[in-house]
Amino acid sequence: MLQLPFIRENKEAVLTGLHKRHFANAEATIDQVLTLDQQRRDTQRELDDTLAQSNAKAGQIGALMKAGDKAAADAAKAETAELKVRSKDLGETLRQIEIDLQAVLVTIPNIPHSSVPEGRSADDNEVVLENGEKPSLYEGAQPHWELIKKYDIIDFELGVKISGAGFPVYKGKGARIQRALINFFLDEALKAGYLEVQPPIVVNEDSGFGTGQLPDKEGQMYYVTEDKLYLIPTAEVPITNLYRDVILPEGQLPIKNVGYTPCFRREAGSWGAHVRGLNRLHQFDKVEIVRIEKPEKSYAALEEMSLHVQGLLQKLELPYRVLRLCGGDMGFTSALTYDMEVWSAAQQRWLEVSSVSNFETYQANRLKLRSKLEGKMQLMHTLNGSALALPRILASILENNQTPEGVRIPNVLVPYCGFEMID
């Protein structure tokens, strides 16, 4: 959520940012916010004055009672009636204005960073760099959904039986390579100075709101009605929310956390072409890195996270590219996002495996995540990134490393897997 004073003082910059996102009705929305804000402050002021008068009267009455002057006290009491009615009315008005204001504010996305390219869709994203060599496959090479059948390492039909489509069952070397990847990713993050955490994988509504999944992406999360809990779509939610309503001592910054969790996504309406096999699932595994930074350091941190993710891909010997998402393709809460995509040799296309974002104060404002720096209370910057999401990594390892004899495991994973080939 954007900060009200920021909108008030930077109206033009906010509008420019919203236009970059192709946010509809930017002018009308911002005008509405500013009008409501003015109303809010006027009403607040009037209410405060009324309450101040009431407080003064109550004090007087107390003093009169103490002095034993009952008649004067009763007279003063009579005078408070009108104040009482007025403060009640004003209070209700104020509350309604605040509700209305909040309702508009939550519909406004974050303002893109100046480096975010113009554009409407994924086609307009900027390719920052490309790294690694795309392998040329032998005659008869297959996409990963054929390979997993051939080697019997993932069973989708079995998953359908016990849960439904998009819930695969990993078996044998398929299960073991999952475990290997998770451990590899966690170990690499630990080496980079992250603290490992294991958060809950269901969260309450406050947490969903804190990181911006609610109310924006309500329909994308599985919901446990009985207990009013959401299954997490990403570890970003529980890990970032560890710091909700927290005032961090300056010495604790920056916070660097890493966590492995399963992730659950309903993916309502997004099924269709390009979703075969591991390309899109309802449940998948991911190792997530989360950082909380002082504002002036957040962009350096973002670059560092990008390099960390790239390092993982290099160690896995996967050809990848880095995209800077354009205004129209960025997530609701993000100010700047890098997507990392790996090359899927058999599908002949790029697959997103990581998304690294700086949210600046957008999440922190909802979370009330602050720190007192140089005597001033201020919102911190939150960042996160996948490091990494497993399914598409596995897909590209299978496809890129396939040989007529089997699939070669990347060297760095062999100690984790305990085998060199899937055959």
Establish whether the linkage from the previous residue to 135 is cis, with ω within 30° of 0.
no
The answer to whether the CB of 58 falls within 8 A of the CB of 73 is no
Q: Would you give the DSSP letter of residue 174?
A: H
Encoding tokens for residue 108? 């406004």
Which of 88, 274 has the CB closer to RNA?
88
Which residues face 403 on adjacent strands? 406
Mark 237-256 with x for binding to RNA (rule: CB under 7 A) and - for no binding: ----------x---------
CB of 246 to RNA, least distance (A): 9
**Per CB under 7 A, 61 contacts RNA:** yes
CB of 211 to RNA, least distance (A): 20
Long-range contacts of 154-161 (CB under 8 A, 24+ apart): 154/278, 156/277
CB of 80 to RNA, least distance (A): 4
**Per CB under 7 A, 345 contacts RNA:** no
| Interface region with RNA, contact rule CB under 7 A, candidates 59-67, 141-149, 335-343, 403-411 | 59-67
| Interface region with RNA, contact rule CB under 7 A, candidates 39-47, 101-109, 340-348, 402-410 | 39-47
* Distance of alpha carbon 85 from alpha carbon 360, whole angstroms: 43
Residue located via tokens 């390009």:
274
**Per CB under 7 A, 202 contacts RNA:** no
The count of chain residues that interact with RNA, using the rule CB under 7 A, is 27
CB of 61 to RNA, least distance (A): 3
Which of 172, 200 has the CB closer to RNA?
200
Which of 41, 280 has the CB closer to RNA?
41
- Kindly give, in sequence order, each residue whose CB lies less than 8 Å from that of residue 226, ignoring residues fewer than 6 positions away: none
Which value, in Å, is the radius of gyration of the alpha carbons in the chain? Answer: 27
Among 35, 54, 107, 220, binds RNA (CB under 7 A): 54
Of 324, 307, 261, the C-alpha closest to 117 is 324
CB of 248 to RNA, least distance (A): 11
**Per CB under 7 A, 45 contacts RNA:** yes
| Interface region with RNA, contact rule CB under 7 A, candidates 79-87, 139-147, 206-214, 318-326 | 79-87
Distance of CA 364 to the CA centre of its chain: 11
Q: Which helix (H) or strand (E) holds 283?
A: strand 283-293
Of 170, 129, 169, 182, the C-alpha closest to 388 is 182
**Per CB under 7 A, 370 contacts RNA:** yes
**Per CB under 7 A, 197 contacts RNA:** no
**Per CB under 7 A, 41 contacts RNA:** yes
* Distance of alpha carbon 142 from alpha carbon 417, whole angstroms: 23
CB of 45 to RNA, least distance (A): 6
CB of 408 to RNA, least distance (A): 37
* Distance of alpha carbon 120 from alpha carbon 329, whole angstroms: 6
Identify the three-state secondary structure at position 136: coil
Among 138, 377, 404, 405, binds RNA (CB under 7 A): 377
Instruction: Categorise residue 60: left if φ over 0, alpha if ψ from -120 to 50, beta otherwise.
Output: alpha
**Per CB under 7 A, 84 contacts RNA:** yes
CB count in 10 Å sphere of residue 418: 13
Which residues face 260 on adjacent strands? 287
CB of 372 to RNA, least distance (A): 6
Encoding tokens for residue 226? 């009985």
The one-letter amino acid at 146 = E
According to CB under 7 A, which residues from 382 to 411 bind RNA? none
* Distance of alpha carbon 222 from alpha carbon 184, whole angstroms: 29
**Per CB under 7 A, 372 contacts RNA:** yes
Which of 51, 160 has the CB closer to RNA?
51
Which of 219, 376 has the CB closer to RNA?
376
CB of 59 to RNA, least distance (A): 7
CB of 113 to RNA, least distance (A): 24
Binding site for RNA (CB under 7 A): 4-5, 41, 44-45, 47-49, 51-52, 54-59, 61-62, 65, 77, 80-81, 84, 247, 370, 372, 377
